[in-house]
Amino acid sequence: MTFALNWTINGETGGGSLGWSGQDVSTAFDRAQATVAAGTSQTLALQPGGTPALRFFSLMASRYTDARFAVDGQAPVTLAGAIVISGDAVRLLAAAAPLNLTVTNSGTDDLLVDVAVYRDA
């Protein structure tokens, strides 16, 4: 089975508009949705298998304050907005499978996160 991901990016730059669109096809799809309670961390394991084969990665959250994330035990990074990476650049996220994503919520309210990974099976 294959999964097709169609994407579009539009924006205004002040000097005019810009826009890109495309499609990526993969043979596997992983999605993790979690509620990270206030003052806690949660690790999500994605991309099972023996070799990294990422093609697309997205990380969305219910808010972008008081939140950090780390990949495979690396130093945490502030989650300041939605993250979308595709193409060969997405392979920079994980040198080996599985991809372990740790989300830390230092806020006073629960944080909802939604992670999607398209990959080769």
- How confident is the model at residue 91, as a pLDDT? 74
Average pLDDT over residues 23-45: 91
Q: Which structural domains are found in the chain, ordered by start? A: 26-119 (2.60.120.380)
- How do residues 45-99 score in pLDDT, each as one tens digit? 887 665 567 888 899 999 999 999 998 888 999 999 999 888 778 777 766 667 8
pTM for the whole structure = 0.83
Q: Please state the three-class secondary structure of the chain as a single string.
A: CCEEEEEEEEEECCCCEEEEEEEEEECEEEEEEEEECCCEEEEEEECCCCCCCEEEEEEEECCCCCEEEEECCCCCEECCCCEEEEHHHHHHCCCCCCEEEEEEECCCCCEEEEEEEEECC
- How confident is the model at residue 30, as a pLDDT? 85
- How confident is the model at residue 44, as a pLDDT? 92
